Amino acid sequence: MITNVFRRRLWAPVGVLTSLAYLVHQRRVALAEMQGAHGQHPVDRSLLELKMVQVVFRHGARSPLKPLPQEEQVEWNLRLLEVPPQTQFDYTVTDLTGGPKPYSPLDSQYQKTVLKGGMFAGQLTKVGMWQMFALGERLKKSYVEDIPFLSPTFNPQEVFVRSTNIYRNLESTRCLLAGLFPHQKEGPIVIHTDEASSEVLYPNFQNCCSLRERFRGRRRAASLQPGISEDLKKVKEGLGIDSSDGVDFIVLLDNMAAEQAHGLLSFPKLERFTQLIERRAVDTVLYVQSDDRESLQMVVGPFLHLLESNLLRAVDPATPAGKTRKLYLYAAHDTTLMPLLMALGIFDHKWPPFAVDVTLELYQHQESKEWFVQLYYHGEEQVPRGCPDRLCPLDQFLSTMSVYTLNPDKYHTLCSRAQVTELRNAE
């Protein structure tokens, strides 16, 4: 039960504890009212009211981050950067407090790699723009047309938008908003972002010493593991890539996915290795990340805390008006979605494709006042870990997620362990 979860969380602010008391009370009332002769009663979905939606999505198709070392390079023509008129949408980028847009060291790094044809590494293309526009249209159908949940025009009192401070993600968000709100906006369109040093929408190796130490050298070691090593040698030999050039399955998959999304192909033989490359790229990530609780906490725990906080504010009757939104949009990456899917217990061992989304809906039963969540991945209903069904009682969902969720103080403590060890060794 959720009471046990928060009994362990002495750091919880007063507002969260108020939410807890209210949620537990409503849960008990709901159970008393809904139990039948056999102790269970199906939920009448017609009595559920949608209260909040959180969408975490990967950016659209882009150019590769690191080209393969070969003489014949795919041409990434600058025409791929042309912006479709339908995806145009004016926006402003600020930091999380409304101040100026932070500097983006990752964009500066990508711009150092110029691909054949003139594009930079990691640039969103018009293919990716259309993918994000389509995702926006799907959200519009779900939450504007099928259910009159959102206004048909952008309303900053209803929608909060956050993205990593990387241009392809900001532009992906623009395209999604253009598909979701094709009509005139109602107020400033602001995309919030954070400094790279404190970002939680991806695993932050810069900010977390313990994470950096755990992962140090593991990606290279993964390529030497039995099975992965032999398959990597076979693929490289089949493609004519030198065995000592530092290319692993993640680099191979990145190039393959980018090329296939745009109908390009550097190696005609690449297609026969498609499934093997994806499977071994996932195996590489699983080896690098390892399967222990603390690694997953440091990778995605702060972001889970953010999602959890939004849920708790929504159910807290003491939350002031205007402090919650109906829709939260988070523009993230494959490195965000994979650990998120693992924590949720719905990872299918496939690499998250471009423009894929995880959507979390919050409902309240209008008679029992009980709260539920429903989870979707790529538009398909999912059953989260620890939940009895696709419609999951909120307390059960939060109890399961508490295993991996980290508030800022605990994140700092966990991430600082390696730094303390380094300092002691230096004395």
Residue type, 332: A
List, in order, residues 6 or more apart from 112 with CB less than 8 Å away.
Answer: none
End-to-end CA gap in the chain:
46
Distance CA 124, CA 103 (A): 19
Quickly count: other Cβ atoms within 10 Å of residue 380's Cβ.
8
Closest to 174 in 3D by CA, of 157, 161, 159: 161
Catalytic site positions? 59, 334
Inter-CA distances, 161 with 215, 257, 309, Å: 31, 27, 16
Q: For the chain, percent helix, then strand, then coil, each to nearest 5?
A: 45, 15, 40
DSSP state of 270: G
Rg over alpha carbons for the chain, rounded to the nearest Å, is 23
Among 256, 290, 295, 292, CA closest to 276: 256
DSSP 333-393: -HHHHHHHHHHHT---SSPPPTT-EEEEEEEEETTT--EEEEEEETTEEE--TT-SSSEEE
413/427 Cα distance (integer angstroms)? 21
Listed residue (129, 239, 234) closest to 177, CA to CA: 129
Residues in CB range of 177: below 8 A, 6 or more apart: 89, 91, 136, 154, 161, 189, 329
Quote the CA–CA distance of 268 and 301 in Å, as a whole number.
41
Give me the residue label for tokens 């009211």: 49
